[in-house]
Amino acid sequence: MKAKPFFIVFFAVAVLLGALSFYMGATIEKADKAVTSVVSPDNKFRAVRITLSGGEPSPFCFDSVSVLLAVYPDGFAERNKAYEVFSGPCDTPEKRATSPKIEWLSNTALQITYAAKAEGFNEKKAVKKHLDVTKTVRVTFVEKN
């Protein structure tokens, strides 16, 4: 006889948690994600740029560039941060589509051109690694004004 109140409370809590989960999923804005991939000249490596941005209640935008073997899918760069060679705030909204610029100079040399910090817009400092996780690709950085 004591099992009946337990099952009623358990069912009520499960329904409440389900409703709360559905409400949060429907009302919280998801981040916009853009993925761009550039393959090295010898098709062995791939540089993957991921841009995450969102609007309300507080706007944000963040770029990252990862270097991985070309056989890996682009989504691998998002899940494994060890492959990340650059991360930082986005450029101004009007220049965001072309920044940071990813350019392969050779089979094992990558150049990333990124935006300098703009006062009041992208205050955080960029994180840069000059060598990828495989210790094969050398990365150079150019700060544009």
Look at residue 58 in the predicted model and tell me its pLDDT. Answer: 65
Q: Is the pLDDT of residue 93 over 70?
A: no
- Give the Cβ contact number of residue 46 at 10 Å: 22
- Single-letter amino acid, residue 35: V
- Average pLDDT value for the chain: 84
| Beta bridge mates, 63 | 51, 88
Cα–Cα distance measured from residue 32 to residue 89, given in angstroms and rounded to the nearest whole number: 15
Look at residue 26 in the predicted model and tell me its pLDDT. Answer: 78
Q: Is the pLDDT of residue 13 over 80?
A: yes
* Residue among 24, 94, 36 nearest 64 (CA): 36
Tell me if the pTM is above 0.85: no
Residue 71 binned pLDDT confidence (cut-offs 50, 70, 90): very high
- Give the Cβ contact number of residue 68 at 10 Å: 23
Look at residue 86 in the predicted model and tell me its pLDDT. Answer: 92
Q: Is the pLDDT of residue 36 over 70?
A: yes
Q: Is the pLDDT of residue 118 over 60?
A: no
